[in-house]
């Protein structure tokens, strides 16, 4: 009779031990999850016009368009009417090159408009202009196709001057400044397409060119 309570107590202890072991296994799952540390909110970067200009090498001249022009000039000596039969008549074949583009040294903060709300940068390029114009080569021959002898210096200079004028007129009438304006915009679109500007979208606008005036050297 005295052993039953002992056996009962031993069974109760075994049940309590099993329950304690089960509870120990479940306790980690019952513990509250640690509170995650909130990520710091990034400070928005505000772009300025000066910051945009710092990304552009303003010592560079963007040469975008080159016209190579060939022309033929006729020249003859200024002589009296009775000397016309023996006067010298020349043909001058002239080759010239005219280069136009945008001078980036003319960029200022006034050329940059920034919308921090829309995250856009509008860059207005300076007007395209003729950067250089020069004679590349010239050859002189007679109307008959031979080499002239004892070329009259005044006639030679007259032909050379006319050749320069024709090169300038051809470049302007062919719209070299319009081509340079379009090409400059395409070049800048490609440049800023490869460079990220603090998450801003860069829009490139152009300024209509002024009057086309060229002095060929």
For residue 151, give both structure tokens: 């070329």
Residue 181 confidence (pLDDT): 95
Closest listed residue to residue 78, CA positions, set 139, 148, 156: 156
Would 11 be classed as within a structural domain?
A: no
Would 74 be classed as within a structural domain?
A: yes
Of 39-48, 147-156, 165-174, where does the model show the most confidence? 165-174
Closest listed residue to residue 123, CA positions, set 112, 136, 132: 112
Give the β-pairing of 112-115 and 129-142. Answer: unpaired
* Residue reference for tokens 């940068």: 121
Would 23 be classed as within a structural domain?
A: no
For residue 139, give both structure tokens: 């050859």
Would 99 be classed as within a structural domain?
A: yes
Residue 79 confidence (pLDDT): 54
- Provide the 10 A C-beta neighbour count for residue 180: 28
Residue 10 confidence (pLDDT): 43
pLDDT at 180 over 60: yes
More confident residue, 125 or 2: 125
pLDDT at 76 over 70: yes
If phi > 0 it is left, if psi is from -120 to 50 it is alpha, else beta; for residue 199 that is left
pTM greater than 0.75: no
Taken as a whole, the chain contains a residue count of: 217
Q: What is the mean pLDDT of the chain?
A: 77
Would 28 be classed as within a structural domain?
A: no
pLDDT at 144 over 90: no
CB hemisphere CA count around 23 (13 angstroms): 6
Confidence of residue 87 (pLDDT cuts 50, 70, 90): low
Which domain does 187 fall in, by range? 49-205
More confident residue, 24 or 125: 125
Number of domains within the chain:
1
Q: Render pLDDT for 129-139 as a digit per residue (tens, 0 to 9).
A: 999 999 999 99
Residue 7 confidence (pLDDT): 38
Q: Render pLDDT for 11-42 as a digit per residue (tens, 0 to 9).
A: 434 444 444 444 445 445 445 556 666 655 55
Taking the C-alpha atoms of residue 184 and residue 202, their distance in angstroms, rounded to an integer, is 15
- The four Cα atoms 204, 181, 186, 117 give a dihedral, to 10 degrees, of 0
Would 12 be classed as within a structural domain?
A: no
- Which residues, at least 6 apart from 179, have a Cβ–Cβ distance to it below 8 Å? 64, 65, 100
Q: Render pLDDT for 197-213 as a digit per residue (tens, 0 to 9).
A: 778 888 899 999 999 99
Taking the C-alpha atoms of residue 62 and residue 102, their distance in angstroms, rounded to an integer, is 5
Would 5 be classed as within a structural domain?
A: no
Confidence of residue 5 (pLDDT cuts 50, 70, 90): very low
For residue 162, give both structure tokens: 């006319």
Burial label, 102 (beta-carbon count in 10 A; 0-12, 13-18, 19+)? buried
Taking the C-alpha atoms of residue 95 and residue 91, their distance in angstroms, rounded to an integer, is 13
Residue 179 confidence (pLDDT): 95
pLDDT at 86 over 90: no
Would 123 be classed as within a structural domain?
A: yes
């Amino acid at each position: 009779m005295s052993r039953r309570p002992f056996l009962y107590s031993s069974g109760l202890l075994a049940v309590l031990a099993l329950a304690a072991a089960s509870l120990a296994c479940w306790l980690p799952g019952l513990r509250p999850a640690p509170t995650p540390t909130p990520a710091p909110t990034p400070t928005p970067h505000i772009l300025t016009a000066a910051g945009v200009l710092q990304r552009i090498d303003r010592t560079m001249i963007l040469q975008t368009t080159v016209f190579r022009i060939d022309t033929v000039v006729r020249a003859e000596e200024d002589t009296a009417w009775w000397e016309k039969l023996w006067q010298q008549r020349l043909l001058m074949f002239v080759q010239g090159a005219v280069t136009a583009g945008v001078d980036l040294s003319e960029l200022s903060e006034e050329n940059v408009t920034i919308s921090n709300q829309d995250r856009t940068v509008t860059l207005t390029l300076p007007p395209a202009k003729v950067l250089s114009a020069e004679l590349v080569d010239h050859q002189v021959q007679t109307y008959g196709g031979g080499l002239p002898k004892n070329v009259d210096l005044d006639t030679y200079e007259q032909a050379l001057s006319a050749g320069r004028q024709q090169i300038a007129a051809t470049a302007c009438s062919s719209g070299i400044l319009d081509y340079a304006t379009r090409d400059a915009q395409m070049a800048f679109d490609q440049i800023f397409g490869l460079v990220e500007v603090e998450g801003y979208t860069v829009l490139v606008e152009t300024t209509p060119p002024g009057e086309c005036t060229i002095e060929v050297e």
